[in-house]
Amino acid sequence: MASNKPFPEAVKARRTYYALDSSSPIPDARIQEILTHTILHVPSAFNSQTSRTVLLLNEEHKKCWDMIAEVYKQQLPAEKFERANQRFQGFRKGYGTILFYEDTDRVREFQNKFKTYEDKFPGWSEQTNGMHQYVVWTALETEGLGANLQHYNPLIDVRLETEYKVPPTWNLKAQMVFGTPTDGPAIPDDKKEFDPVEDRVKVYGAK
């Protein structure tokens, strides 16, 4: 997986984009390559490899957000659903969605295998899933795609499991919507605020 952008610049460039259209500057095969590369090479505790993904493109992406809207329509009062549905329709305008899961069977397998760290594996599982999300998000950015991350689980879990034949032991963590940006990031560069670095980074023994 190649990119001409240095890693620190890619990290800085990764932003949240809500204004997306249903086009992609790269072929679907390249998007699949990014996911495959991420799944293979992002680390996990004890090499447990607990993360799973489902890639939805084009009409499957639109169908996903139609289903999510249907689920929420059954759960929310009409006035609240109308506001939520505006967001759903915005996500629907994108090119694709990536569903991020953790395999709870795999987590339990490693809990049983390494009893000393049994209580740690659920937390480590969350950490590796976050790393998968971040690597994919940053990689998509380097290819000219914008993305945003959503968390409409657990209400949508059963519907998506049924539609996409996802094992019930896969626990949905997030939904990443992506497409070609049609506007700037959610927070413009000149409006992004940073807490003082000296309050957040400590260094000892540097030469």
Q: What is the pLDDT of residues 155-188, one digit of tens each?
A: 999 999 999 999 999 999 999 999 999 999 999 9
Q: What is the pTM of this model?
A: 0.95
Q: Do 163 and 5 form a contact (C-beta atoms < 8 A)?
A: no
Identify the H or E element spanning 157.
helix 157-164
Q: In the predicted model, is pLDDT for residue 2 greater than 70? A: no
pLDDT at 1: 47
What is the model's pLDDT at position 3?
A: 60
What lies within 8 Å, CB to CB, of 78 at 6+ separation is: none
pLDDT for position 153: 96
Average pLDDT of span 104-133: 98
